[in-house]
Each structure stands twice: as C-alpha cells, then as structure tokens.
C-alpha cells in the first residue's frame, strides 16, 4: 500500500500521522511512503520526528515500511537522515551527512543527559563564545519530561536543525505516549484536553510523579520563546498550544494526536555571550 | 565560609542524584553553622531536576530568605545566575 505525504503543512502532517496511527487496516503487510510532492526545504524536524514515531509503531507491529526512492525527500530521508539505521540497524542515533542537522535521536534513558551535551558540542564550534546553556537546558527538560510522564514505551524521538539563513534553531521532541492532557488529568480529573494543556505549562504545576519534579520543565522551554520571532507549538491529544513572545493561545484540534509533539524555534543571534560572574549577588 | 565545587558532585551522576548530593553537602555545612559558597566552575547548566532536589528542597525546609542569606555562588555563568535568582523568587511548593 502506498501512503502519500504531499503537503508540508505541519498540522496536516500531524493529522495524517494520527490517521495512520489509528488505522488498524494498515497494520499488516507492507507500506511504501511516497514523498514525491515535496522538496527537501519543505520538511524539517517537526515533520521527521513524528514520522519516526509512526514508523516505530508500525515496526513494532511487524509492518514493513519503505520509502519510495527517486524523489528529493525520499532520497534525503534514506541517505542523509539514514532512516533505515534506526530500524534495520537498531540504532538510537546516526549522524546525518548534513552540517546543519543534529539527526534523529531515539530518546532513551541511558543517553538522556548525553544527547543534550552532544547537541551542545555540535553547536559550540559554530557559535564560539556564545552561551548555549539555554538550548541544552531546554532539551534536558524536554527529555526528562518524556521519560517521567509520557509512558511511551521507548517510542519517542527528537531532532534538531539549524537554519543558517535565518539563524534559527528548530527543535522537535515527539512521543507516542499518553499525552500531556492524560497526565494532567491524573491529578486534575475534570479538565478537557485544552484546559489540561494550558495547565501543564503554568509555572510550578507538576504532577510530582518524581521527587525532582516541581513544575519548572515546560516553563523553562516556554521562556526561551520570549524573543521576537521565536515560538513554541505543542500538539497533544486534541489540544494545540501556540506560544510566542507576546501571547499563548490554546485551541481544540480536529484530530486526536496519539502522544505529544513539541516544536520550538529559537533565534541563535540573540544568544548571549558566555560571561561569568565571579561574585554573585542575590 | 565553606566552598563546595558543584561540578565535582555532578561528575558521573545524573542530575537528580547530583542534586541530592549537593543538598546533603550544603545541609551538613549549614547545620554546622557555616555559610556556603557554591563554586560553579565547569558546571554545564542548571536543569530543574537538579535544582528541585537541592536548592528547592532547602527552600521547602527553610525559606527563600534563609537560602539567600546562607548560600552564594562564584564563577557562575551570567545566565545561570539569573536563572537561580528567578528560580528562588518563583519557587512555590
């Protein structure tokens, strides 16, 4: 069966992936993903990370997934992103051939602090003297959130790219777990998906599932998106949150995303210089 | 005044465990009447799962003012200094 991805719009992509996730009829035999209608510049981490989660689900159900070759995106996913390494090769991370891509990483407990450092090292040489701690901090917070709350059974991926032209970093973390609203409802029962997602990014809100949870994680990510032209999107179950420097908006989605997708875009031009305080004053 | 090298406590430990070690170290010094200086040389960054079980736990057990009066930092990255100030000001339990 051939499945066509011919629209670059993020929400279209997530809706398509959601439909395929819930479609039991495709969970047998073989699928061919066809990206013929798209160009490489049309897709980024926000598309590839949820696609990886879908492939993981299908792979777990012994569905054979392949990519139709001889299209720009098909060849890019095969040769640059090396998708087969993650399933046929059983790797959690495979270096991309592209200089501007920190490739797909399958989020796993043993590397949860290693990968943010890997990201920091990747960008250190490009941004000498710049304070990258906010970037690595946001990744660490995201990955711990997945580990602590998602119950995704290992089906979670992250991917990062750097847009040289605009000097922006694009980060996506995606899991096929229970979704943020479900987690929030474990402590606040009567909230709908939108209200639950709104609650989750409130400062100090935490379900306190672990001794080290105290509700700072999503807030740390949110605070990165307070600069001009930066923004954060979260899609989880039937809720969508969009936040930028000036506002936050939560709306109901037309589809039920089977987990959580977080995408944020932050300007690297506004990263501060690495500066130290010798004697700190409160 | 007692100096604690935070990076030494972080080496080889995950953030929650390192934060717990820091809490134990700070508590021991404060209980013996010392004030504490946290040397932040080579510390990569300060995630919430580290702060919550160290500084956050101390705030819960005492108060934000107690932490400010008895703990300070040196060789701390400017952004981390701001992060710590914000953290202590906004901490609620």
Given pLDDT bands bounded at 50, 70 and 90, which one contains residue A211? low
> Please, what is the angle between helix A217-224 and helix A133-145, to 10°?
140
pTM of the model: 0.91
- Residues, chain B, total? 93
What is the structure's pLDDT at B39?
95
* pLDDT of B28: 96
Closest chain A CA to residue B20? A212
What's the average model confidence in pLDDT over A160-169? 89
Q: What's the CA gap between A173 and A158, in Å, rounded?
A: 4
What is the C-alpha separation between A190 and A156, in angstroms, rounded?
Answer: 27
User: Is A242 in contact with A194 (CB distance < 8 Å)?
Assistant: no
Question: Greater confidence, A174 or A129?
Answer: A174
Interface predicted TM-score (ipTM)? 0.89
Q: Quick one: pLDDT at residue A27?
A: 87
Please tell me which of the candidates A203, A204, A282 has its beta carbon nearest to residue B85: A282
Using pLDDT thresholds of 50, 70 and 90, give the confidence band for residue A244. confident
pLDDT, residue A204, reads: 64
Q: Could you tell me which residues come within 8 angstroms of residue A267 by beta carbon, excluding any fewer than 6 positions away?
A: A166, A167, A168, A169, A227, A228, A229, A230
User: Which residues of chain A have a Cβ shorter than 8 Å from any chain B Cβ?
Assistant: 112-113, 117, 120, 131, 133-134, 136-137, 140-141, 144, 203-204, 210-214, 216-217, 220, 272, 274-282
User: pLDDT by residue (tens digit) across A105-159?
Assistant: 999 999 999 999 899 888 888 888 889 888 888 889 889 989 988 999 999 999 9
Task: Tell the residue number behind the tokens 């960054």, with chain if given.
Answer: B45
Q: In the prediction, which pLDDT does A34 show?
A: 96
Least confident of A60-69, A126-135, A170-179, B37-46: A126-135
User: Please, which residues have CB within 8 angstroms of residue A112's CB and are 6 or more apart in sequence?
Assistant: A140, A143, A144, A147, B14
Q: What is the distance between the alpha carbons of residues A151 and A142, in angstroms, rounded to a whole number? A: 14
Q: Is B83 helix (H, G, I), strand (E, B) or coil?
A: helix
Q: Compute the distance between CA of residue B23 and CA of residue A10 in angstroms, rounded to an integer.
A: 44
> B32 CA to chain A: closest CA distance, Å?
23
Would you place residue A215 in the very low, low, confident or very high pLDDT band (cuts 50, 70, 90)?
low
For A144, A165, A216, B55, the CA distances from B90, given in Å and listed in that order, are 21, 37, 10, 12
- CA angle A116–B43–A278, rounded 5-degree value: 140
Mean pLDDT of chain A: 90
| Cα separation, B53 vs B9, whole angstroms | 13
Q: Are strands A276-279 and B2-5 parallel, antiparallel or unpaired?
A: unpaired
Dihedral sign from CA coordinates of A41, A46, A47, A53: positive
CB contact under 8 A, A216 and B48: yes
A145-163 confidence digits (pLDDT tens)? 899 889 999 999 999 999 8
The answer on pLDDT for A227 being more than 60 is yes
Q: What percent of chain B has pLDDT over 70?
A: 98
Residue with tokens 């602090």: A113
Residue A101 clears pLDDT 80, i.e. is over it: yes
* Residue A248 dihedral angles phi and psi, to the nearest 5°: -130, 140
pLDDT for A268 equals: 82
* Residue range B33-51: mean pLDDT, rounded: 93
| Mean predicted confidence (pLDDT) in A24-48 | 93
Q: Do A280 and B76 touch (CB under 8 A)?
A: yes
Cβ of B45 within 8 Å of Cβ of A277? The answer is no
For chain B, what is the mean pLDDT?
93
pLDDT tops 80 at residue A87: yes
Tokens of A187: 């402590």
Both structure tokens of B72 = 């300070």
Least CA distance to B19: which residue of chain A? A212
In chain A, residues with a C-beta closer than 8 Å to the C-beta of B85 are 282
């Amino acid at each position: 069966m051939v499945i066509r991805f011919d629209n670059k719009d993020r929400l279209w992509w997530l809706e398509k992936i959601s439909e395929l996730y819930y479609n039991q009829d495709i969970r047998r035999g073989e699928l061919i993903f066809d990206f013929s209608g798209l160009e490489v510049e049309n897709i980024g981490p926000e598309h590839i990370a949820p696609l990886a989660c879908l492939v993981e689900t299908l792979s777990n159900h012994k569905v054979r997934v392949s990519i139709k070759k001889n299209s720009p995106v098909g060849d890019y996913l095969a040769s640059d992103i090396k998708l087969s390494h993650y399933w046929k090769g059983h790797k959690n991370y495979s270096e991309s051939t592209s200089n501007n891509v920190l490739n797909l990483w399958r989020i796993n407990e043993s590397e949860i602090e290693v990968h943010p450092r890997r990201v920091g090292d990747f960008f250190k040489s490009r941004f000498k003297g710049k304070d990258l701690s906010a970037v690595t901090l946001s990744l660490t917070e995201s990955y711990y959130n997945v580990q602590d709350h998602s119950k995704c059974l290992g089906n979670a991926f992250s991917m990062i790219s750097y847009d040289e032209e605009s000097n922006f970093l694009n980060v996506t973390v995606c899991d096929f777990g229970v979704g943020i609203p479900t987690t929030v409802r474990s402590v606040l029962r009567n909230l709908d998906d939108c209200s639950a997602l709104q609650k989750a990014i409130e400062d100090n809100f935490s379900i306190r599932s672990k001794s080290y949870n105290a509700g700072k994680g999503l807030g740390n990510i949110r605070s990165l998106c307070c600069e001009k032209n930066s923004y954060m999107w979260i899609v989880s179950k039937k809720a969508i949150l969009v936040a930028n420097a000036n506002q936050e908006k939560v709306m109901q989605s037309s589809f039920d995303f089977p987990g959580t997708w977080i995408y944020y875009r932050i300007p690297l031009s506004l990263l501060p210089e690495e500066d130290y305080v010798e004697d700190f004053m409160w | 005044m007692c100096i604690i090298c935070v990076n030494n406590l972080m080496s080889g430990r995950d953030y929650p465990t390192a934060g717990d070690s820091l809490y134990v170290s700070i508590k021991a010094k404060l209980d013996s009447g010392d004030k504490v200086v946290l040397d932040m040389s080579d510390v990569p960054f300060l995630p919430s799962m580290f702060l919550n079980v160290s500084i956050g736990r101390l705030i819960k057990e005492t108060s934000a003012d107690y932490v400010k009066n008895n703990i300070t930092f040196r060789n701390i990255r400017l952004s981390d200094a701001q992060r710590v100030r914000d953290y202590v000001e906004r901490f609620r339990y």
